[in-house]
Amino acid sequence: MTIQSHLALPPTSSRTFIRRAIVLTAAIMAILGGVSTMRVEAAENSVVAVVNADPISRDALASASVERYGTDVLDNLINRHLIMQECKRRGLGVTNEEVRTEIFRVAKKFGLNVESYLQLLQEERDITPDQYSREIIWPMLALRKLVADEVVVTQEEFNRAFVSQYGEAIKCRMVMVQDKSQATQLHAQAVAEPSSFARLAKEFSEDPTSASVGGLIPPIRRYMGDQAIEDAAFALDVAEVSDVLPVGDHWMFLQAVRRMPASQPAPQALPAIKEQINDRIRDEKMKTAASQLFAQLQEQAQVVKVLGDAEASAKHPGVAAIINGQQVSIANVAAECIKRHGESVLEGEINRKLLTQALAKSGKKISNEDLKLEIERAAISFGYMNANGSADIEGWFAAVLEGGPGTREVYIEDVVWPSVALKKLVEDETNLTQEDLQQGFESHYGPRAEVLACVLSDQRSAQKVWEMARDNPTDQFFGQLANQYSIEPVSSSNFGKVPPIRKHGGQPSVEKEVFQMKPGDLSGIIATGDKYIILRCQGFTEPVVSDFNAVQEELRSVLIEKKMNVAMGLKYDQLKQTAEIDNFFVAAKEIPRVAAESNGTR
């Protein structure tokens, strides 16, 4: 029975019904002049989604977004506020045109037009054009202006960078070991017999990347890093061996392979090269200057983080932070969170609404004990256990929260609760039959078939290979056929050898054929999907366990979990497919803007 029949709605879908109501209301209000269209839009926008006629408000989305991402977003806002305040103090500003020009310049540097570059950022890094201009380009330009006096590329810096990129280079081999005495001994051998250097590197060097190619390393250029190593390399003649040099907690020595002369770029390329080198030097200097400026601004700033501090929140309701006396509201943080993460958070809220509705309909509830048991089960299943075999809850939380957004509460809401909810919804449908147990026992503990396999893409090729295998019935010849004809990488590279096949492993047509064979038998051509498989039986393994009763309880636990996981997936798909979901947030998403405003705090 659908939600429409419960509500006695007309046959028109609720989506169409709601939209018609909104349009009709707006038209009436416009005619009567009693309420502005803006109010109608505001009312519409206060609901971001409707799930089976149950709305999700923008306030609920804001709270969920702040709970998950508020801390990270606030830190970004604080940094931008500090930059903005310093710009204001010095009378500096960044215009929209400057932002657009910089985006054009960056896109051009990568050989792309602006549209393609912004699309690439969104697809590859999930950064919208608006976010890119506000959170990356604007702060970068502002910092450039703030540290402009410190970020000047000198002629000497340019010359060094040019020589580093286009000047003479030395191609070398290297031996690196941690023990100084061993380095000295190897060095003596290399000096006595320079032709043995590659062999010494392969056998003794502790740098695996270079050792695998006889000690060869990328060409050494001037001004690239360690001056002592560069001086040692450039002092060498071809085949000459350097002195032993310290590198961190290791010791190394070099042998010059050949000297690579300097290259001279074409005159027409020089302007672009100069711009590229200057940009690189300026960016490197700007990073250093910017980090120093940040440290200075943060050290001098009076920053009070209110968000997440219960005591501070009671004193400053509605405030997320206070920066040098200027308040950043929770509403501002919430708006930023929604801009960045609203779509993914809303998807989670829609799923939670679906599960909540399904639980209510089935008369089931989730207790704290249910959640606790699920956390313990997950911890144990991933090996987080104490010495007494109980779940290591603290270790598990530390692992799952590392590098992710939110807190324990968020993890429980987003991961544990949905899992428990789905289990509740399918627990009455998940029962093991004696047949399930028997098949599970055969699959987990029964004999495996040892086979050679050849996988073909068409029946004609399969027929040809099958006839050749029949005419020369040996493992060796079949392996050669698999190596030559099989389109499946494992069987091709291993001359037909594939992992043993078990019963009830998910390949019914293959299993049926192979478990009727005897060692030395050739199968028929097995059609499965768009592939054709030929097998040669080599024999069968002994059962891992013969006594069913010895593993019955463990097997029952494993099979129940597997069966429940399948049922949970099917139930979730069913809820999504039968639900009436209107996602206004995605439908009404703003057209991406680039540099819509000149500050970085909106």
Model confidence pLDDT, tens digit, residues 487-533: 999 999 999 999 999 988 888 999 999 999 999 999 999 998 889 99
**Angle 514-520-524 from CA coordinates, rounded to 5°:** 45
Model confidence at 409: pLDDT above 50: yes
- Mean pLDDT in residue range 182-200: 94
What pLDDT score does 589 carry? Answer: 57
Q: How confident is the model over 382-393, as pLDDT tens digits?
A: 899 998 989 999
Model confidence at 595: pLDDT above 70: no
Model confidence at 17: pLDDT above 70: no
What pLDDT score does 44 carry? Answer: 43
CB atoms within 10 A of CB 73: 26
Percent composition of the chain: helix, strand, coil (DSSP 3-state, to 5) = 60, 15, 30
The single-letter code of the amino acid at 575 is L
What pLDDT score does 354 carry? Answer: 95
- Mean pLDDT in residue range 296-300: 83
Percent of the chain with pLDDT strictly greater than 90 = 46
Lowest mean pLDDT among 34-48, 289-303, 537-551: 34-48
Lowest mean pLDDT among 142-156, 163-177, 180-194, 317-331: 142-156
Q: How confident is the model over 194-217, as pLDDT tens digits?
A: 999 999 999 999 998 999 999 999
In angstroms and rounded to an integer, the radius of gyration of the C-alpha atoms of the chain is 34
Q: Which of 293-307, 332-346, 467-481 shows the highest mean pLDDT?
A: 467-481
How many angstroms from the chain centroid is the CA of residue 9?
A: 44
Work out whether the CA dihedral 55, 60, 61, 64 comes out positive or negative.
negative
Model confidence at 430: pLDDT above 80: no
Higher-confidence residue of 249 and 588: namely 249
What pLDDT score does 563 carry? Answer: 86
Confidence of residue 20 (pLDDT cuts 50, 70, 90): very low
- Mean pLDDT in residue range 572-594: 77
Cα 271 to Cα 83, 110, 159, 236, 268: the distances in Å are 33, 16, 14, 34, 7
Q: Between β-strands 319-323 and 326-329, what pairing exists: parallel, antiparallel or unpaired?
A: antiparallel
What pLDDT score does 348 carry? Answer: 92
Model confidence at 68: pLDDT above 60: yes
Q: How confident is the model over 234-280, as pLDDT tens digits?
A: 999 999 999 999 998 999 999 999 999 988 888 888 888 888 888 88
Mean pLDDT of the chain, nearest integer: 84
What pLDDT score does 253 carry? Answer: 95
DSSP 472-517: S--HHHHHHHHHHH--SHHHHHTTTB-PPB-TTSS-HHHHHHHTT-
**Residues β-bridged to residue 247:** 250
Model confidence at 31: pLDDT above 70: no
Q: How confident is the model over 135-163, as pLDDT tens digits?
A: 889 988 888 888 877 778 888 888 888 88
Model confidence at 33: pLDDT above 70: no
Model confidence at 105: pLDDT above 60: yes
What pLDDT score does 438 carry? Answer: 84
What pLDDT score does 175 carry? Answer: 95
Q: How confident is the model over 445-483, as pLDDT tens digits?
A: 889 999 999 999 999 999 999 999 999 999 999 999 999
Higher-confidence residue of 131 and 366: namely 366
- Mean pLDDT in residue range 362-366: 93
Percent of the chain with pLDDT strictly greater than 70 = 89
CB atoms within 10 A of CB 381: 11
Q: Between β-strands 245-247 and 250-260, what pairing exists: parallel, antiparallel or unpaired?
A: antiparallel
Confidence of residue 38 (pLDDT cuts 50, 70, 90): very low
What pLDDT score does 590 carry? Answer: 47
Confidence of residue 588 (pLDDT cuts 50, 70, 90): low
H/E stretch holding 124: helix 114-125
Backbone dihedral angles phi then psi of residue 382, each to the nearest 5 degrees: -100, 10
